[in-house]
Structure 1
Amino acid sequence: MGKVHFIGKKKLQKFLRMAFFSLFIFCIAGFVGTSDTLAGSRRYSKAAAPVNIAVSRRDAYYEFTCYKDIPYPSTYPNNYYDAYVYPNERRKKVLGTIIYVHGGGFVSGSKEVVEDNPYFLAWLRSGFQVIAVDYSLAPDYPYPTALKQLSYCVQKILEDRDKLGINPRKLIFMGDSAGVNLAGQFLLTQTN
């Protein structure tokens, strides 16, 4: 009988830990969701960055087209993204678009990591386009600055979807380290 009581106590402890963790996540999502970090928020100025994709630098990246340093509206620095896309004649073959947010513990890193790692080329050759997002770094621009910037960037990417050949129903958010954190929090704000 003592063994049954022990198993029940263990299950209760596990339940309470899960409840606390769920409440913690819910509070964070509520904090982020009620602030102005959602796409379409009013705090940025559209005059902060040109809306013309022609402003960016167009390069070749293997058999793909790369638009470098496309600005998105933000009052903070590092408000650019790079788009690695299929040429117009091959756009029907695109399976989806990966929005990649770099890592670096919120204090380092940049979107340039794409050209240094072969797995991005493998994703492109597998049928996915890649959008690499840059954001302002801490400690000069503390949290949630980067999350706000990701929101502004996604809004700009969706505005440029026809120029870039993006299907908004086929977006995949990925990242490394802090980038995964930002991508996950952004998705929570959009689905909460």
Structure 2
Amino acid sequence: MPYSRHLGPLTPPAWHRPWFRYIDAVPGAEGAPPAPDPAQSAQTPPADPPAEPVDYKAKYEEAIGHSRQWEQRAKDNKAKADKFDAAEQEKLSEIEKANLRIADAEKASAAVAAELLQLKAANANGITKDERALLTGTTEDELKAQVAAILKLRAPSTASAQDAGITGGGSAAPTSRAKTLAEAVAARINKK
């Protein structure tokens, strides 16, 4: 922060205090900078020589070199990471390895069993391939409830076009078909 000889720290610029009026010092007055000599200023060379042009191609090549260097380091570290993972696997005992394989097999078996139940329920009730996506249950009870909801949706509706919302009618109460659809969607959301 700049300091003044008499006033201490200088205050922020004028735009911080728009209510103050600043008056420039008169050249040659007490405390004012000396007035520049016009004859001397015309003979002095400019303070800074013009900047040299920037070689962008060299900068680009340098950046590419750094990029390739870091890419090579990443490839080297990948090989080291793979070696570390292999060493960690070797440290596991045979029993731990077998337990991991058993856990993976149990997960796969449960997924296959659930899919088999879903396919049986779909086949027994005439569920189409598109409707099959709505079957998400993993137990027979869940699947029976979902099949019932799908079959309700499939039943022909006795509601008029106005009640179904096709013509934009003013029915305030939801139709039974809309209720059934809402129940099916809610069951699917609650399952997740």
- Shorter-chain TM-score range: under 0.3
Q: TM-score, normalised on structure 2?
A: 0.24
Of the two structures, which has the highest relative contact order with CA contacts closer than 8 Å and spacing of 6 or more? 1
Higher helix share: 2
Q: TM-score, normalised on structure 1?
A: 0.24
Higher strand share: 1
Computing the radius of gyration over CA atoms, which structure comes out larger, 1 or 2? Answer: 2
